[in-house]
């Protein structure tokens, strides 16, 4: 829709300094995908006017700055007012004076020293398709993904937590209240609009074996309610607030293992949100998101960010739901049609959407983390994908990802993860000082790293000059780094090994 609206335990493998230098046209990525890649490489080019932007809050932008920048001076230069500061991300939400063009203001900010990025305050929506609440069928999802067999081994535990980043959760619902933890409201609105978050929470972790209602996939797990959506939608700054709350919760409660469920999304690429997701993953949080409800091979966010598990929706006959977004970024699918779950006020209702599919997977992830608390997000993801029931093909399919999530197989013996991690450090050629806010791209490797065409993941370096890439399949890769004035490319490809962190250093020069 367009318009406006009111890690732990990684073995380390070190690659030496790898350097090829040359001129560059700039640090802003334009969102062109490589062959066979479903995820854009970064923010798309700006449209010519505000009318070309994805759904956003009028007269608001989000600005990310370098840690050393004076953000208030930057805001004053555009005659704006700070509405919210997200210190962990060095970002602020700013209200502009009317009438002010968001596109023109962003172009102005991109040329300012100390500014990492500037973007609209995009509005995302819950991926929900409501159904008749009096329809007589009940739960079919847990049976379809073999949850009852998994419950013979584990039903989760309070130290395995599902953070429901959504419209809020009815903490008084009798099928949820015993599992509710102290959460946060990142919006200025009270209540739980449309019951979406309560429905999602019930799918993942409604109390089981209590003689009432339904059973969640991980019925003994904790529920961390994080409200980021209002009746008007979910703005980027609120979603980032919620993701960071879940990450901080995991950091402050080291004995707990957190899975964040985001049953929401939109078309606008947000660096603020990507930074928040990266922060969560680096805080040992597994991030799961709904793929979307447009029924097309498109990439919506946050499902499209590297490291996020994108979940599509299936039907009772194991078909892809007609509304379910698909593509090469899809991880797995799960039940998402006529799903019976909790709603505010103590009741139950049927809803459909990839919003309902994602919490099935989040619940399964909570079962894994309860039984294997030492597993970090990458091995948990690998366990889910490699034990999924294949549909349509013996391997990966853009329609189904790795297949239908299988709870019984997931809680069995741990599988060997095929994922490694890459850590790229970027240094300046003159000072050898780490460079923050450099664009780093990991590519499928070629001989001598020439003729690179297939993008794998992209990221920006943090204030320490480091870009981290998680859930990278074992294989051969090259890396490039660039700022507005300097760039570098690895001279030879490097290998990523499962369960290993591969370190590379790039020295950028004109």
Active site residues: 166, 196, 355
> Two tokens at 233?
């939608």
Fill in the DSSP letter of residue 180. B
Cβ pair 240, 180 in contact under 8 A: no
With H, G, I as helix, E, B as strand and everything else as coil, classify residue 362: helix
Report the alpha-carbon angle 301-262-34, nearest 5. Answer: 25
Residues 357-384 as b or e (16 or more Cβ within 10 Å = b): bbbbbbbbbbbbbbbbeebbbbbbbbbb
Please classify residue 317 by burial: count the beta carbons closer than 10 Å to its beta carbon, then call 0-12 exposed, 13-18 middle and 19+ buried: exposed
80: left (phi over 0), alpha (psi -120 to 50) or beta: beta
Residues 209-224 as b or e (16 or more Cβ within 10 Å = b): eeeebbbbbbbbbbbb
Helix (H) or strand (E) holding 245: helix 236-252
Phi, psi of 286 (to 5 degrees): -85, 125
> Two tokens at 342?
């909790």
Cβ pair 164, 186 in contact under 8 A: no
**What does the alpha-carbon distance between residue 390 and residue 42 come to, in Å, rounded to a whole number?**
31
Give the number of residues written for the chain.
510
Cβ pair 148, 209 in contact under 8 A: no
- The dihedral built from the CA positions of residue 465, 306, 282 and 443, taken in this order, carries a sign that is negative
Q: Which of 120, 127, 2, 125 is nearest to 55 (CA)?
A: 2
Cβ pair 420, 499 in contact under 8 A: yes
């Amino acid at each position: 829709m367009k318009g406006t609206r009111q890690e732990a335990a990684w073995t380390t493998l070190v690659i030496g300094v790898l350097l090829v230098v040359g001129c560059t046209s700039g640090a802003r990525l334009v969102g062109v995908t490589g062959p066979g890649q479903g995820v854009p490489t970064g923010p798309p080019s700006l449209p010519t006017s505000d009318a070309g932007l994805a759904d956003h809050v009028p007269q608001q932008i989000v600005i990310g700055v370098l840690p050393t920048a004076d953000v208030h001076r930057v805001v004053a230069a555009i005659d704006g007012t700070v509405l919210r500061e997200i210190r962990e991300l060095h970002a602020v939400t700013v209200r502009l004076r009317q009438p002010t063009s968001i596109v023109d203001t962003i172009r102005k900010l991109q040329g300012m020293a100390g500014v990492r990025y500037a973007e609209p305050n995009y509005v995302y929506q819950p991926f929900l398709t409501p159904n008749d609440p009096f329809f007589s069928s009940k739960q079919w999802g847990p049976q379809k993904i073999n949850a009852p067999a998994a419950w013979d081994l584990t039903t989760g535990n309070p130290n395995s937590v599902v953070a429901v980043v959504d419209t809020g959760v009815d903490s008084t619902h009798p099928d949820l209240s015993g599992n509710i933890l102290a959460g946060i409201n990142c919006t200025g609105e009270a209540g739980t609009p449309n019951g979406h978050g309560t429905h999602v929470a019930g799918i993942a972790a409604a109390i089981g074996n209590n003689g009432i209602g339904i059973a969640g996939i991980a019925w003994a797990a904790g529920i961390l309610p994080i409200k980021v959506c209002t009746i008007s939608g979910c703005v980027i700054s609120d979603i980032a607030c919620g993701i960071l709350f879940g990450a901080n919760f995991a950091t402050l409660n080291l004995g707990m293992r957190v899975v964040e469920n985001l049953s929401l999304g939109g078309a606008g690429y947000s660096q603020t949100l990507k930074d928040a997701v990266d922060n969560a993953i680096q805080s040992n949080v597994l991030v799961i998101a709904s793929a979307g409800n447009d029924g097309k091979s498109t990439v919506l966010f946050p499902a499209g960010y590297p490291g996020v598990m994108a979940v599509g929706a299936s039907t009772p006959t194991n078909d892809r739901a007609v509304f379910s977004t698909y593509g090469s970024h899809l991880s797995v699918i799960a039940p998402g049609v006529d799903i019976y779950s909790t709603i505010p006020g103590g009741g139950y209702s049927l809803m459909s959407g990839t919003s309902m599919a994602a919490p099935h997977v989040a619940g399964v992830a909570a079962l894994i983390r309860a039984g294997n608390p030492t597993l970090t997000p990458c091995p948990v993801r690998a366990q889910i994908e490699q034990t999924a029931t294949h549909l349509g093909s013996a391997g990966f399919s853009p329609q189904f990802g790795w297949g239908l999530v299988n709870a019984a197989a997931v809680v069995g013996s741990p599988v060997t993860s095929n994922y490694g991690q890459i850590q790229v450090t970027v240094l300046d050629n003159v000072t050898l000082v780490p460079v923050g806010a450099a664009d780093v791209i990991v590519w499928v490797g070629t001989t001598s790293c020439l003729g690179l065409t297939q993008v794998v993941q992209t990221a920006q370096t943090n204030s320490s000059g480091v870009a981290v890439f998680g859930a990278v399949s074992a294989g051969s890769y090259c890396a490039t780094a660039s700022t507005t004035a300097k760039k570098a490319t690895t001279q030879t490809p490097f290998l990523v090994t499962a369960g290993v962190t591969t370190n590379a250093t790039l020295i950028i020069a004109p």
